[in-house]
Structure 1
Amino acid sequence: MGWKIVEIENADRLRLFLDNLVIYKEEDKIIIPINDIDTLIIDNVQINLSIHLINKLSENNVNVIICNEKHLPNTQLLPIIGNYNALKVLNKQLEWNHQYKSNLWKKLVVQKIDNQIEILSFFGYYNDNVKIMNDLKNEVKEYDITNREGHAAKIYWHTLFGREFNRRDEENPINKYLNYGYAILRSYFSKSIVKKGLDPRISIFHKSFHNHFALASDLMEVFRIIIDFEVIKIVEVEKMQKPWYESKQQLIELFNRRILVDGKEQFINNAIDLFLEAIIAERELPTLVFPMYEWN
């Protein structure tokens, strides 16, 4: 599998030719080997796709994301057959007991708050809020029954973007950037979850009749720092002066970055795979380091 992230906005139709993606725009065409594509983002509701192409993308485990008319990720294509050992992995997933899930969720929440503290420190927020978040991190209980995550998140967002900022406000442009990046991140986790043989609906913590990727919503928590970092740059450093298309490109391109997993550099998609492998094997979670100083 290659490392290319291909985003398509201006095209008439997409077709398959000899294991290649062919992009047609009027009289022009671009040919890209499917083996070179890691993620394909289609951001134009008028583009026509062939069934042959869809099947070939699925067979090659390409992460296909389709955006809606608001240019936000709306649909992900995942193969029905994900892993040769899927039944064994699924049975193990079904056996996750209360103790395992509560401990795992506690670790995820602690790591998430720790990452948020790191973000605040990196951007120079050395204040009482950081101290409060450190205290909250140390108070997390099993299953986070006292909702330290929620309290920390409120402090985190208010420190970054002011007390009036609300993550549920869909009209706020900051949330547009965050939601776009998180949707792509969730798709990476969903892809890896299916590939590893897990059922994305069987979660650790998140529960919703409408969320078919609840497990991805759980496990992506510690990786959100990647999106947060880039969005803060877009908002606070670049003052949202760039057009939406350029900022969106920044969010897409960050998935080509590397992070440290147990001291070794890994592309983000590899890091997610290793993270899931540890969870499936019920091992200690790998140590993740997000080298933000290298991302500027």
Structure 2
Amino acid sequence: MEQIVDISSDGRHLSRDRGFLKVEADGAEVGRVPLDRIAAVILHGHGTTWTASLMVELARRGALTVLCGRNHAPVALLWPIEGHHAQGGRMQAQWAASRPAMKQAWKMIVQSKIMMQAAALRSVGEPDAPVSILARSVRSGDPANIEAQAARRYWPLMMGKDFRRDVGGGGANGLLNYGYTVLRAATARAVIGAGLHPTIGLHHRAQGNSFALADDLMEPFRPLVDLAARRIAREAGPDVTSEAKQALARIIAFDMEVDGVTTPVSGMLSRLALSLARSFESGRMELGLPKPPAPLRLMELGR
């Protein structure tokens, strides 16, 4: 099973030791993780140091390194130069994709996200109709910004009427920031592994965003983070503790289903990225989007 390694304590030193990532504090070993099991390393702690050989070995395995700010949102990512064996051809197909194809893909992603939001609301006993009814109104490229309309209805039901989603805000926002960081890292890894360029997005196209495509493809999975953050905030408080981080990091191992196949979120992201790569090559958008899990399954998130 792939792991997200979080380094949040100050003064840690990271190095490679015979196929392991070794963590030391004051010269003494405090932990180690097999390199082959690492999907991403997330760094928060002040004074953290690492060896170049460790970074090289992580990159060779396709694992990302994410640097986070005080609000638990990512500020930089290290990703490998070498990707999928068919990377050149797939990137050319990605660059050559038509705007109608990009818009059609974004429509499918927005619809999938809205249906996942509706399923998340059902799992916590909230009415889903105000959100799910909007899915049928999404058109190619989402020109009416139905995604934002759904969000305005969704957040008060999911997090409470006084909640405001704000990256720099307090309360559960820190939990959401960290959960989305985990999800973004896993998605970026899937994008690179599929031979696609993460900068070329379907919808997210802000200058300076090196992971626009990851931000696009992670959208249907965001409600999983929302559910976990909601549970943690209500049961243990909104602080981003080590226990909260562990619960949020487990999201990539949460099982989902598509086309009768059950696979963890990390595998589902790889499947989605690969389906997009093949769609660029064929010219037909056929995305492997997730099927919303049953309410009882969704209730397991955040434990």
TM-score under structure 1 normalisation?
0.90
Structure 2: which 5+ residue stretches go unaligned?
280-284
**Structure 2 residue 246 is the aligned partner of structure 1 residue 255:** no
**Structure 2 residue 12 is the aligned partner of structure 1 residue 9:** no
* SS, match of residue 168 in structure 2: coil
**Structure 2 residue 269 is the aligned partner of structure 1 residue 266:** no
**Contact in 1 for aligned 2:43/2:66 (Cα 8 Å):** yes
Corresponding residue for 2:203? 205
Corresponding residue for 2:282? none
Deviation at 1:273, TM superposition (A): 0.8
Corresponding residue for 2:53? 52
CA distance in 1, matches of 2:276, 2:68: 30
**Structure 2 residue 296 is the aligned partner of structure 1 residue 293:** yes
**Contact in 1 for aligned 2:12/2:45 (Cα 8 Å):** no
Deviation at 1:91, TM superposition (A): 0.9
Question: Any idea what the Cα deviations from partners look like across 1:182-211, whole Å, max 9, x if unmatched?
Answer: 122111111111222211111111121121
Which one-letter code corresponds to 2:41 in the other structure?
L
Corresponding residue for 1:232? 230
Corresponding residue for 1:88? 89
CA distance in 1, matches of 2:243, 2:24: 23
Which one-letter code corresponds to 1:286 in the other structure?
G
CA distance in 2, matches of 1:134, 1:4: 33
CA distance in 2, matches of 1:120, 1:8: 32
Which one-letter code corresponds to 1:6 in the other structure?
V
Question: Any idea what the Cα deviations from partners look like across 1:50-96, whole Å, max 9, x if unmatched?
Answer: 11111111111123223334444333220111122211001110121
Compare relative contact order (CA 8 Å, sep 6+) and give the higher one, 1 or 2: 2
After superposition, the Cα gap between the structure-2 partners of 1:31 and 1:69, relative to the gap in structure 1 and judged at 3 Å, is: same
Deviation at 1:239, TM superposition (A): 5.7
TM-score under structure 2 normalisation?
0.88
Deviation at 1:44, TM superposition (A): 0.9
Which one-letter code corresponds to 1:293 in the other structure?
L
* SS, match of residue 77 in structure 2: strand
Deviation at 1:287, TM superposition (A): 4.9
C-alpha RMSD of the superposition: 2.1
CA distance in 2, matches of 1:278, 1:49: 35
Structure 1 range deviating more: 74-83 or 278-287: 278-287
CA distance in 1, matches of 2:101, 2:240: 45
CA distance in 2, matches of 1:112, 1:242: 27
**Contact in 2 for aligned 1:262/1:287 (Cα 8 Å):** no
**Contact in 2 for aligned 1:9/1:42 (Cα 8 Å):** yes
- Percentage identity across paired residues of the two chains: 26
Spell out the pairing of 1:208-223 with structure 2 (5 A cutoff): 208-223=206-221
**Structure 2 residue 283 is the aligned partner of structure 1 residue 281:** no
Corresponding residue for 2:132? 134
Structure 1: which 5+ residue stretches go unaligned?
none
**Contact in 2 for aligned 1:43/1:68 (Cα 8 Å):** yes
**Contact in 2 for aligned 1:3/1:36 (Cα 8 Å):** yes
Corresponding residue for 2:21? 21
Which one-letter code corresponds to 2:91 in the other structure?
L
- Length, aligned pairs only: 291
